[in-house]
A and B are shown apart, each in its own frame.
Chain A
Amino acid sequence: MAWEYYLVVMLVYLGTDLLAVWGLNLEFGVAGIANLAYIVVVAAGAYAYAIVTLGPSSGNGGFQTYIGGFTLPFPLALLVGAAAGALVGTLIGLTGLKRLRQDYQGVAMLVVSLMVTTIVSADIGLFNGTAGLALIPNPFSNLDPDTARWAYVALVAVCCLIGFVVLRRFTTGPMGRTLRAMRDDDTAASAAGKDVVRLRLVVQAVGGAFGGLSGALLAGFIGGWSPSAWAYIETLAFLSCIIVGGRGSDLGVSLGTLIIAVLLLQGVQFLPQIASSPGLSEDFGWIILGAATIAFIWFRPQGVLKERRPRYRGESPSKLPG
């Protein structure tokens, strides 16, 4: 049934987008790193998943070329995807070694994102160039199609559950507090004994693992992955979820993901299509997304759900939370 198919697609997208947004929120919302190359770690996870689950490049009639081809089982492949994201995330994080101004670093990462797309598109031997990879194995392909779809939703749900538990270890408690201090004023954080450069690399590795896992799950579900799926503006979509939802708030950015990534960007596809310009509704989605992002930065920079800080009770009644 069509509606059931749409529902499955939406749920899978919601789950994979949540993982990516959580990872980026850890970097941007919590630790203050404007990682404008975040989509590259998602792509790394997707390609890594693809090339370790696919058979050898020569084995399928040679219609696509790529490195790797190990026919690994999917749980292992998901881990490889997350690891690839962590590795690439750390590499992108190396642009932060010089402790440059945050916006300057953001621009450097934007250029990284544009550059990686250019290289992967141009090099056919790496991941089959612009055409991208197809026939990426679905882990449940031996089940009947309906069961397989819902099995995938369950897989994504389990990953999100595990992801959320891991995420909270970094965003709450002393670790979350230290990262937020670094976001608010990294010079003062250094003066307070925090190794800012190291913390940023750690955060970009962890955030990268989230993005990598998101990409791996997406590639396994769609069955294909190409440079058009990870243009640099996809990072803006994730950032938009964070800014609209409430930067730094795990619950807020999850709400933002539902509003922006699912309701807006997927929702516009249900707008009536104009035959003469088929891409118009999608263009419209991006225009609204950009406008919403700017509007929130202008009118409500804290987002829909503001980041909440823990309150402590002391002995005197004046210190009770008001």
Chain B
Amino acid sequence: MQLIIEAIGFGIATGAVIALGAVGFSVQFGISNILNITYGALMTLSAYIGLVLINHGINAWAALAISAVAVGAVSVIYHRILLAPLVRRGTRAIAMIIVTVSAGTILQYVIVAIAGPSSQSYGEQSGQTFHFLDLTLSFGQVTIIVLTAILMLALHLLLTRTTLGKAMRATSSNRTLARSCGIATSRISDIAWFISGCLCGAAGVALAITTVSFDFSLGALFLIPMIAAAVLGGIGQPYGAMLGGMIIGISSEVAAAVSNPNYKDVVAFVILIIVLLVRPRGLFGAAWSSRRLMEG
């Protein structure tokens, strides 16, 4: 029992990182209708930017903020100069996937060429630990949980309380209609790709903080739980992705605790396959998004 409670604590921390990543991924799909696989490599990029900053003596949390903004900027440029023009030229979704996988591969190998293939680490974090009930969490884990909660709340307020957020939701549900209502959809896209890029960057550094060591495949492997969370929540639905991240995080840590830790991602994978076969629109997918996902 103690084992499971501990695993739930770890699961919340893991789930927070997955939620950060999955929400950004989902926002990009919602706004641009692109499944951006480069996302994984951008997380890796963020982790390495963070590494450089930390090696220069910058505090890990400041590094997280700087990396997040940097990856946010890279995301906007990437979408502006490559993805958006391709979509405008009528490139089919099937080819867009290959483009984003290719771009991710390029980025991944540029990182390897510069930083080398060996494992890296952010080094020892503060040894301070926190105890709630029977849970023991490190300072890093607690900070990431709190940080995720703040970012998710901020995103929620942005989407529901501001004109910008409403414009984003309108663009997400029907781009053509939004444009004809006078919404500057390309500017809204830029902002959405910046915000989702920041979440991607934050998730990359957060992931590197919570793992013992990482290498260039950090982001690629994270695609499994992240896509599972986004799909479970109903892809394109930010709130679904938050909940999906928590469910995937907790269930995989609990499964790892009671069985083989190597199979942590298997839980995420099994959930993904079940959702795809039973309810492809996910928990929160509205009818419109399911129609967008089904053919035709």
A interface, CB within 8 angstroms of B = 28, 32, 34, 36, 95, 97-104, 106-108, 110-112, 114-115, 118-119, 122-123, 186-187, 232-233, 236, 239-240, 243, 277, 279-280, 283-284, 286-287, 289-291, 293-294, 297-298, 301
Contact = CB atoms under 8 A, between A and B. Distances in A.
Question: Secondary structure of the A side of the interface?
Answer: helix
A286 B237 CA distance: 34
A101 to B, nearest CB: 5
A17 to B, nearest CB: 18
B37 A110 contact: yes
A103 B224 CA distance: 16
A293 B98 contact: yes
B35 interface: yes
Interface of B: 35, 37, 82, 86, 89, 91-99, 101-103, 105-106, 108-110, 112-113, 116-117, 220-221, 223-224, 227-228, 235, 260, 262-263, 265-266, 269, 272-273, 276-277, 280, 292-296
Contact of B293 (A101, A106, A110): A101
Given A233-B105, A290-B105, A114 B273 contact: no
Contacts of A286: 105-106, 108-109
Question: Secondary structure of the B side of the interface?
Answer: helix
B103 A290 contact: yes
Contacts, number: 138
A60 B265 CA distance: 33
A236 B102 contact: yes
B95 A297 contact: yes
A200 to B, nearest CB: 12
Contact of B94 (A102, A114, A119, A291): A102
A298 B86 CA distance: 7
B180 to A, nearest CB: 25
Contacts of A100: 276, 280, 293-295
Given A114-B223, A283-B113, A186 B295 contact: yes
B96 to A, nearest CB: 6
B10 to A, nearest CB: 19
Nearest to B106: A290
B272 A111 contact: yes
Nearest to A295: B102
Nearest to B112: A283
Leading 5 A-B pairs by shortest Cβ distance: A122-B262, A290-B106, A103-B93, A290-B102, A293-B102
Given A110-B101, A287-B106, A104 B260 contact: no
